[in-house]
Amino acid sequence: TAKENIDDFTMSFLHMGHVLVELPFFKDVTKAIMCGILESCLSYDWGYSFLFEFGLGLQKGDENASMEDNQVAQIIVAEFSHFKEVMTMVWNEETSQKPAEDTVHGITGKRRKDGRMEEMSIDKKRLLESFRTFEY
């Protein structure tokens, strides 16, 4: 089955990923082929779960792989919409682990007034208090 051969699939896809990243002349052709392969996976019942698991593996990287392979794997996940759910899940995990103070500190406010954008103050202290009330 596909899941039994996911390691071989990953290595083959990484090789294509190196062509995609390192040889700009072949990027469009390589991307079309890789996209076709991902699309063909979706025509099977196991396709969506396989691509999710595959994309998650690419995103997390492999401690035994080279730094270059792990970078190519990350580029592959970012390059293909087939891995959108993986990117969303990873972003959600990173955001949920970030302290509320860091998130609130980074918030800026803008509003449109008379057809132009202007700064808007944000009561960050009150926002954090509201968050803590909601959290507990």
On whether both 26 and 85 belong to a single domain, the answer is: yes
User: Are 13 and 35 within 8 A, CB to CB?
Assistant: no
Q: How confident is the model at residue 136 (pLDDT cuts 50, 70, 90)?
A: low
What residue numbers bound the domain in which 128 lies? 98-135
| Mean pLDDT estimate for the chain | 89
Q: Which residue has the tokens 């970030």?
A: 98
- The answer on pLDDT for 3 being more than 90 is no
Q: Based on the domain organization, do 59 and 83 belong to the same domain?
A: yes
List pLDDT tens digits, range 34-72: 999 999 998 998 988 899 889 989 988 888 889 999 999
Burial of 120 (0-12, 13-18, 19+ CB in 10 A): exposed
Verify that 77 and 127 share a domain, yes or no: no
The average pLDDT across 3-7 equals 89
Kindly state the tokens that stand for 13: 């896809």
Question: What domain count does the chain have?
Answer: 2
Token look-up 């990027």 returns 27
pTM (2 d.p.)? 0.63
Instruction: Measure the CA–CA gap between 104 and 121, rounded to whole angstroms.
Output: 13
Q: What is the pLDDT of residues 77-129, one digit of tens each?
A: 999 988 888 778 777 777 777 788 888 888 888 888 888 889 999 999 999 98
Kindly provide the residue ranges of all beta strands, DSSP E only, lying in the chain, ordered along the sequence: 109-113, 116-120
